[in-house]
Structure 1
Amino acid sequence: MMILVTGASTGLGLATAETLARAGHQVVLHARRPDRITDASVRDRMHALVFGDLSDDAETRDVARRAAEFGRFDAVIHNAGVIDGPVTAVNVIAPYILMATLPAPQRSIVLSSGMHLSGSADLERAFAGRGDYSTSKLLVTALAMAVADRTTTLSHAVDPGWVPTRMGGRGAPDDLEEGHRTQDWLATADASEIRPVTGGYWHHRQTRKPHPATVDPAFQAALIERLANLTGLALPA
């Protein structure tokens, strides 16, 4: 399978990319800059690498353009994320641009967080300034659910837990390996093994109930409209 993993220079993204590559999949690894890849052997294990800052609209579009040169992906894992700074740009707008620009993959997995449950469903507040982490994860979870409802792509959101990465901190209590096992599985397992086959919110290969707004068709429609107006891009039907 051909799989794109964003934000994969370190942490969960790198662990995901390495695991998938070892399993024989062709992995296209995205990182912000070439110098983020500190282990040269990582390059050898990947099918290809693409670079670009997902906080920047133009660079995100360029990442999409270069990734599209590989054709239609079997799966795209939207792993890239930040906990502070331009959280709305990286955690929400960038995945939307990639979803709207790349040839529609068979599967799409976004990284959510249990913190999305305390996010705001007020879109005016959500898109004011840089936003906050919890709200950005609520929005990207809703985006995953909207893709599941509106397109033929099998779309899911995953809460990886609080894992010891650069973002999570060294004292995080959850297991790093367990933190990427669900997205590896969703990207590669036979669809008959996955229930629901699309539109799931997952934690450690078990479904959980997401924030009610994320599965509200009216909220999804308002979010998609806001993102389409911001970017000038429409999701594929």
Structure 2
Amino acid sequence: MALILVTGASSGLGRGTANALADDGHEVVVHVRNPARLADAGGTTRWKGVVTGDLADTDEITGVARQAGTYGRFDAVVHNAGVMNQPQQATVNVVAPYLLTGLMDKPGRLIYLSSSMHRTGSTDLRRLAIGDASYDDTKLWVTALALALAFRWRGTSSQAVDPGWVPTRMGGPGAPDDLAAGWRTQTWLATAPEVTPATGGYWYHRQTQSSAPAAQDQDFQACLISALEARTGTRLD
């Protein structure tokens, strides 16, 4: 049995991930912005716990980290939360997973939600500072973050997941990919006894793919982490 945090778990991929993990007997702590969304979906009794906060607000991100810390060290953290609207997307999609990673005890496994759209993202990190990032930019940056962390801490693996274009509120009802296949990769990476590669993979439907060259570029990764440190005032160990 593993202790796992899933962010953005009120619906869609996050809810599917949390449900599957709970069904498999794991202790799941879910993050939601609005706890009423959980009540609408059948209550909170199946969860180990619920943490709340708006990941578009830096102070509330810190609060989410503080709440999560009361459960101890997680075996896995699935950074699933994401948005596709300006000007929140840089904060929710990149700053929040970075800040939660920096403020929480290091888990056994880190899983960050990416997208195939990261391949057309920009490496211009001035967009992070001025809040002018596109969705594609944010997914390139969070993918680079995941790969940068892959070998940073002993005992912690880091993976990036492309769930596909799936029919969620963000993806829309006409999205062609399989929603269940989207969340199954996250649950598998969070709990499988062995995964190859054990860290630093970019995954789509439980198969590795090559990420954009920029995401793998160590110089860009270092610049990104420096920019996030400057943006948040939080340094990674």
TM-score bucket (shorter structure): over 0.9
Q: CA RMSD in A?
A: 1.1
How far apart in 2 are the matches of 1:82 and 1:65? 22
User: Which of 185, 199, 211 pairs up with 2:188?
Assistant: 185
Change (3 A) 1:40 1:114: closer
Check if 1:37 corresponds to 2:75: no
Map of 2:235 onto structure 1: 234
1:205 aligns with: 206
**Deviation at 1:113?**
0.2
Give the counterpart letter for 1:227 in structure 2: L
Cα distance in 1 for residues equivalent to 2:214 and 2:61: 27
Aligned CA distance change for structure 1 residues 225 and 175 (closer, same or farther; 3 Å): same
Normalising by structure 1, report the TM-score: 0.96
Distance 2:105 2:215 in 1: 24
Counterpart secondary structure, 2:45: helix
Q: Which runs of 4+ in 1 moved over 6 A?
A: none
Alpha-carbon distance, 1:194 to partner: 0.9
The code of the aligned residue for 1:96 comes to Y
- The structure in which a higher percent of residues are helix is 1
User: Hey, what does 1:80 align to over in structure 2?
Assistant: 81
Shift of 1:128: 2.8
Letter in 2 for 1:138: L
1:124-139 map, 5 Å: 124-139=126-141
Percent identity of the aligned residues?
56
Task: Name which of 99, 112, 124 aligns with 1:110.
Answer: 112
Cα offsets for 1:53-103 (capped at 9, x unmatched): 000000000000010110000000000000112110000000001000000
Q: Encode CA deviations 1:173-198: one digit per residue, 9 max, x unaligned.
A: 111110111110000001xx311100
Residue 64 of structure 2 corresponds to 63
Q: 2: CA distance between counterparts of 1:125 and 1:43?
A: 38
Give deviations 1:159-181, integer Å, cap 9, x for gaps.
00011100100011111110111
CA contact 2:81–2:93 (8 Å) conserved in 1:
yes
The answer to whether the 8 A contact 2:110-2:158 is kept is yes
Per the TM alignment, residue 31 of structure 1 is displaced from its structure 2 partner at its CA by 0.2
Decide which of 155, 158, 171 is 2:158's aligned counterpart. Answer: 155
Q: Please report how far the alpha carbon of residue 234 of structure 1 lies from its aligned counterpart in structure 2 after TM superposition.
A: 1.3
Structure 1 position 141 matched with structure 2 position 143: yes
Alignment of 1:120 onto 2:106: no
Taking the aligned partners of 1:48 and 1:74, their CA distance within structure 2 comes to 15
Alignment deviations for residues 34-55 of structure 1 (CA, whole Å, 9 cap, x no partner): 1222436340111110100000
Matches of 2:131 and 2:208 in 1, distance apart?
32
Matched, 1:3 2:9: no
CA distance in 1, matches of 2:40, 2:127: 40
* Structure 2 residues without counterparts, runs of 5 or longer: none
Q: Which moved more, 1:126-135 or 1:8-17?
A: 126-135
For normalisation by structure 2, the TM-score amounts to 0.96
Q: Secondary structure at the match of 1:202?
A: strand
The more displaced of 143-152 and 108-117 is: 143-152
